[in-house]
């Protein structure tokens, strides 16, 4: 086993960002990939106009790549925000306005995974109030995902880079997964296992894999330290992905790393070209 046995997609919100958004799907295809994922592309607008949605949809279809993952609106990413759904007031309202728009866009491209970032803690607001709001909005998102045959992903980030984000361990994220599934009865909430974030938190990655592989709906990777391509840090990513497969995970592995001081097209030398197309 090894990298060649995985199904990789490219996150176009962190790779190929030197190009305008409509050009990125074709660039990923030119690099040999057949699948892509995205954070919510319109950071200032949870409800962009139909022409903007149609233009991105056409770019993805014309490139011949599959959209396999999409974030709901999460505020400024990259930037200080880490989601909107647990933030009282305008931000959570923007999230709610986005839910059907994002689900409809995902459905139009056959995307079956929607990621909902939890959101930062807010000074002066009771965490219990934020958690209650989060559960309400995550249930809304889970029902929208279910209507299009998709799963809802819930992700742990890392405390050094996201000190105000409350889900900074695998158990914390999986606990929210369980609460959403209990609230909706749908069972379509899953854990997004980002090995970079979990490593930054100091978690025992083999133990996390063994414990939560069956609860995992998507995996993302970057090396640690540095959040670069595999081989630029010290994580044994090939071994970890092998362990995931042996534990039963057969889903997508998102490449969510920084290309460094080189064009993104040159940041895939660790992966043979013949291994980039999904089989």
The region, left, alpha or beta by phi > 0 then psi within -120 to 50, assigned to residue 277 is beta
Q: Which pLDDT tens digit goes with each residue over 13-60? A: 999 999 999 999 999 999 999 999 999 999 999 999 999 999 999 999
2: pLDDT confidence band, cut at 50, 70 and 90? confident
Measured CA to CA, the distance from residue 38 to residue 53 in angstroms comes to 13
Walk me through the domains of the chain, giving residue ranges and CATH numbers. Answer: 3-275 (3.20.20.150)
pLDDT digits (tens, 9 = 90+) for 169-201: 999 999 999 999 999 999 999 999 999 999 999
- Burial, 64: exposed, middle or buried (Cβ in 10 Å; 0-12, 13-18, 19+)? exposed
> What mean pLDDT is reported for the chain?
97
Residue 41 Cα to chain centre, angstroms: 13
Interaxial angle between packed helices 170-184 and 127-147, expressed in degrees from 0 to 180 and rounded to the nearest 10: 60
Helix (H) or strand (E) holding 137: helix 127-147
Q: pLDDT tens, 138-149?
A: 999 999 999 999
- Please report the pLDDT score of residue 127 as a whole number: 98
pTM: 0.97
Q: Give catalytic residues, as residue numbers.
A: 155, 256
């Amino acid at each position: 086993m090894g990298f060649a046995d995985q199904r990789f997609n490219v996150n176009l919100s962190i790779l190929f960002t030197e190009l305008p958004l409509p050009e990125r799907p074709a660039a990923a295809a030119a690099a040999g990939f057949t699948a892509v994922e995205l954070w919510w592309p319109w950071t200032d607008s949870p409800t962009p106009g139909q022409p903007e949605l149609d233009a991105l949809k056409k770019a993805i279809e014309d490139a011949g790549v599959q959209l396999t993952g999409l974030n709901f609106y999460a505020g400024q990413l990259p930037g200080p925000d880490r989601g909107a759904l647990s933030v009282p007031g305008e931000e959570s309202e923007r999230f709610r306005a986005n839910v059907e728009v994002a689900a409809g866009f995902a459905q139009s491209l056959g995307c079956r995974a929607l990621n909902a970032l939890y959101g930062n803690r807010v000074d002066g607001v009771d965490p219990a109030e934020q958690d209650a709001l989060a559960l309400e909005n995550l249930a809304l998102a889970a029902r929208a995902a279910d209507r299009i045959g998709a799963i809802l992903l819930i992700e742990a980030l890392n405390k050094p880079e996201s000190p105000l984000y409350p889900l900074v361990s695998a158990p914390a994220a999986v606990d929210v997964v369980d609460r959403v599934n209990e609230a909706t009865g749908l069972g379509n909430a899953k854990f997004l296992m980002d090995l970079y974030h979990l490593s930054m938190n100091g978690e025992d990655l083999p133990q996390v894999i063994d414990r939560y592989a069956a609860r995992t709906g998507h995996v993302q990777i970057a090396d640690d330290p540095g959040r670069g391509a595999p081989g630029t840090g010290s994580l044994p990513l090939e071994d970890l992905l092998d362990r995931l497969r042996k534990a039963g995970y057969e889903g997508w592995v998102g490449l969510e790393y920084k290309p460094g001081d080189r064009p993104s097209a040159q940041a895939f030398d660790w992966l043979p070209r013949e291994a980039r197309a999904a089989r």
